[in-house]
Amino acid sequence: MRKAVIDMGTNSTRLAVGEALDGVFQMIYTEVAETRLGEGMGDERMIRPVPLERNVQAVQQFATKAKEMDVEQIRITATSAVRDAQNKDAVQQAISNCAGIPMEILPGTEEARLSYLGASGDFQNLNRPLAVLDIGGGSTELVYPEQDALHGVSVNLGAVRLLEHPELLDTMGATLETLKGASFPANSALIAVGGTNTCLMAIELGLIQYDGSKIHGQVLSKARVDYWCETLFAMTQEERESIPGMKRKRADIMPYGVLILQKTMELLGVSEVIISDKGLVYGLLLEAFQS
């Protein structure tokens, strides 16, 4: 049995296909398109026609690909950009019509829960509380265990949003402070998911071609995060694009995504971060096969 997920983020649209054989789940195919849905939303928070058309085309292509792979079920979701958009109903209708499948808008807390589900499974052997940080284009989520439940918070601060609204830098600390909560376990292992974090590790490793298996589970020290934050901000766009491991369409937002990582690590008082290649779409697939 095969199932697929197409997720529309503020910066990227992702396809993931999973398969269950003899009760064992594995993700067998992934693809990412840098569609920048949240481009130019402005203070009025409107998704513009050109970014929407990029996403319509990407979703159509991904849905076709999934059907060619004989999937039995396709789920289409959207996160921060659509969640915040004043014209979300029109966007939802356009995407649903182009794919012939209803598109769901995930609430921030649900996005956080699913990211935790996807990212935490491979690190249970650490025998420590696991905190999952998902840095997106429009929002950032932090999830960690709290007694018998999960504490999950989403804030409207992401790499694309910071690039387009630099005035948010002035209140960034206060915004991120709301992520932590009063019950954050002092000995937590921080796991980071999302394009900012996987791209940062690809840069750290100097990968010419992206390879999730080489990135997943790698550890990055706070000192290296500090180094890359300072270095990326000091570079021109052209210089950033030339870094081995950098995705060209992500080069403009990377300094801001790494800044969110740096400030969150300082807020949580952690000295290192584990990078996971399994995040929201992996969690969505896991849940699909569990249902």
Please state the three-class secondary structure of 85-108 as a single string: CCCHHHHHHHHHHHHCCCEEECCH
Range of the domain at 171: 115-279
**In this structure, is residue 189 part of a structural domain?**
yes
pLDDT at 254: 98
Q: Tell me, yes or no, whether 129 and 177 share the same domain.
A: yes
Last residue of a domain, one of 52, 80, 106: 106
pLDDT at 146: 86
Q: Tell me, yes or no, whether 48 and 165 share the same domain.
A: no
pTM comes to 0.92
**In this structure, is residue 291 part of a structural domain?**
no
pLDDT at 182: 76
Q: Tell me, yes or no, whether 31 and 136 share the same domain.
A: no
HSE of 202 in the Cβ direction (CA atoms, 13 Å)? 24
The residue ranges of the chain whose pLDDT is under 50 are none
Q: Tell me, yes or no, whether 133 and 186 share the same domain.
A: yes
Distance, in Å, from the CA atom of 110 to the CA atom of 62, rounded to the nearest integer, reads 23
pLDDT at 147: 82
Phi, psi torsion values for 2, nearest 5 degrees: -125, 140
- Do the bridges between strand 272-275 and strand 189-193 make them parallel or antiparallel, or are there none, so unpaired? parallel
pLDDT at 230: 98
Q: Tell me, yes or no, whether 251 and 157 share the same domain.
A: yes
